[in-house]
Amino acid sequence: MSNLHAHLVSKALIAISRGHLEFIGFSYPPFPFLLTAVHPTTLTPSLWAALASGVLLWTLWEQLSDIEVPVILRAALVLVFVAPAPTAFLLTQSLNGAFSLMFYALAWRSFLRFIKERLTWAGFNGGLWLGIAFFFNVYALFWGILYAASTFLLYRLYHTAKQREERQTVWAMGFILIFPPLLTFSAWSYLSWIFTGSPLQFLKDPSGPIYAFFRPNAASTYTLWQAAKLTAVDLFRLPVVWVAGILCALDSWIWGAVYALIIVGITLMRSWGFVYPEALAQGTFMIMVLMALPTRLTRPRRILLALAVVLQAILVVLMPSRTPEVRAWQNALTADHPAVQDQLEEAIAQQLAKAPRHSILADDRNAYRFIARGHTAEPYLLPMDATYTTAVVNPQEYVSYVLVAEKQTPGEPLGTRYAYQAPPGFVLSATWPGWRLYRRKDAPPLLSLSAP
């Protein structure tokens, strides 16, 4: 189970156990939480992600069916899209990432029809998909800007000289695409300003590190050169993108300019501090070029595309992901037995779940994996509970156990107070890598000193 899915499940379990959906809080993006809350189990986010991935792959297959290539090459293109570990991880272990790519593909397909055939309804569809996508991923706004900017370029390619003189038309076409994501972004920013005092707080809230789209620490921001190198590495892993992009650019330099927009855009966002993940970047590149391939490809071009597929398949095997969680997930899939860390975490979570209601003082920003794996938030006294603040100061009066992460999270008071010293009236009951469990002296032990 990914950290993202564990975070979603724990938030949903907390809201259900407390009987208030609003306890999810002002979490962004909201739709992944709401979908998980339908039936909060460790499998629910993955099932939703699989559904979105199925729609995404169907959309990609349908778009490729318009291209005159053998079915086996079409299938190979879809396969190399899914095969890289970062993409496979995103499509199965990132509910919001899978839905984001799905909406991106649907919007891109509608956008191409909008531009090529001047179908107004297709433009509205594209904008609508991007508007919905914002509630899964903030980068929907970036995609809306990209599509609107691409309109001014591609309009020249697919329309007559007389039509190109209709400047009001192209402006209207761009506005149709950018308006829905801009509206949803403005609405959510307004709500953020009303409730937090900062319109962009939802992008950089340290209390929600899973969704830190904007890096809160200036030291962690990439320079433009570092961001460019990251983007170059992403592209290096995708020979199909190079070849497909070149094939499109050979038909018209305008397509080369459109592809340059996405590359420069992702690079600039990373240099400005936005966390545009490896998997999302690779998925964006692949979708954009594959769905825009020329309808007719000569035999030499088809051969070149097939060679790119083979080369990309080789790179998938030879080049591991640079994201630690993706590498750990990949190792877990190929291992003969579950990782020791996963077994330990599962065993501890199940034992903690047996504790009495509100008897464990914890912070769900750190303990979310134990809540998710234990399938309940009942034993925990958490920051959204009325007595939490008082319990942190005087835990002996409110709880029997205190669960503390040794690595402190910004804004989290438990670690600051008790990461390395027991609260008054408590003793160290158990330790395992990264965690400490304190027990009130008159309470029975939940775990042994060496965790199971």
Q: What is the pLDDT of residues 134-165, one digit of tens each?
A: 999 888 988 888 888 888 888 777 665 555 55
Which position has the higher pLDDT, 427 or 201?
A: 427
pLDDT at 210: 47
Q: pLDDT tens, 184-238? A: 999 988 888 887 787 877 776 554 444 455 544 444 567 889 999 999 999 999 9
Question: What is the DSSP track for 156-167?
Answer: HHHS-HHHHT-H
pLDDT digits (tens, 9 = 90+) for 39-52: 999 999 999 999 99
What is the pLDDT, as a whole number, of residue 23? 57
- From residue 385, alpha-carbon distances to 15, 195, 362 in Å are 11, 19, 11
Query: 79, 37 in Cβ contact below 8 A?
Result: no
Residues 6+ apart with CB under 8 A from 379: 352, 353, 354, 355, 356, 357, 358, 359, 360
Using alpha carbons only, give the angle 274, 279, 282 rounded to the nearest 5 degrees: 95
The pTM of the full predicted model, rounded to 2 decimals, is 0.88
Instruction: Please return the burial class of 298, using the count of CB atoms within 10 Å of its CB with bins 0-12, 13-18 and 19+.
Output: exposed
CB atoms within 10 A of CB 169: 14
The percentage of residues in the chain with a pLDDT greater than 90, rounded to a whole number, is 45
pLDDT above 90 for 68 = no
Is 245 a residue whose pLDDT tops 70? yes
Segment 102-128, tens digit of pLDDT = 999 999 999 988 888 878 888 889 999
19: pLDDT strictly greater than 80: no
At 248 the pLDDT is 86
Q: What pLDDT is stored for residue 287 in this prediction?
A: 93
Query: Rounded to whole angstroms, how far apart are CA atoms 419 and 431?
Result: 11
pLDDT in tens, 20-43: 766 565 677 889 988 999 999 999
Taking CA atoms, 18 is separated from 2, 4, 89, 357, in Å, by: 24, 22, 32, 11
pLDDT at 449: 46
